[in-house]
Amino acid sequence: MHKHIEKIKSNESQPKIIKNIFNKNEIKEFLNLYIELPLTVHNKRQNVKKKRWLKEFRSDLENLFRSRLENEIGSFKYDNLVDDSGKEILGLFQESYNPIGLHIDGGFNYDNIIFKQTLIPLTDTGSTVIFKNRFYDYSTNFTINDEELNEKNLKYGQNRRSSKHIGFFGSKPFDETIHKKYLNHEKIENLIGLEVDTIYEWEIGSMLIFDRTNLHCSSSIINEKKIGLTTFTKK
């Protein structure tokens, strides 16, 4: 568990959706950056392509992003991974053809005071489900799939696998209507005890900001593919 849970809790707030924070030209430049960056990971099982936003790429966009985010959350530090040479990574682009499952992005250092994470949609179809439930541990994928739980050979930056959430948040069955509409890629038994806070419908030019302790996942709504930029912060 994180060492500074009370400090982390003191910075928590409701998820926030900022509309029209980026104009069409700025979104186009983020997409150009995505095209320019080298491929980091192509997870063929999940059908997800990931590209790290390397620090030497497009400092103008980094300055733009930082200024817009600071206006919303105040001062922050990046809490992303580093590349093979030790340089800081500013964010993570993901091109997804299948929805990402239930998880938290708590980072990999218990000494950090984790703060907010952001999502900038670069395509206009998709949605993200944020739950009221919180977890104060490493980045973790929550699953009841035995094959996933037995996966031990995790590489640098990969989330742990855990079923600790089952029973941790109680035994109330998950809302069947929400499950059918947004989360039919998840077994409803994997959502026991969870309660939805916000369903963020992707919209070009907007940005979602939420706490890194919130459980969350993609919805099952994808039109062929979707591309988003995620960044993680700390205090």
pLDDT tens by residue, 68-84: 999 999 999 998 777 76
Q: Structural domain tally of the chain? A: 1
CATH of the domain at 60: 2.60.120
pLDDT tens by residue, 17-27: 999 999 999 99
Q: Beta 41-43 vs 48-54: how paired, if at all?
A: antiparallel
Compute how many other C-beta atoms are within 10 angstroms of the C-beta atom of residue 49: 19
**pLDDT at 40 (0 to 100):** 81
Host domain of residue 133: 5-234
Assign 205 to helix, strand or coil.
coil
Could you tell me the pTM of the whole model? 0.91
Q: To which residue do tokens 């990971």 refer?
A: 41
Q: What radius of gyration, in Å, describes the C-alpha atoms of the chain? A: 17
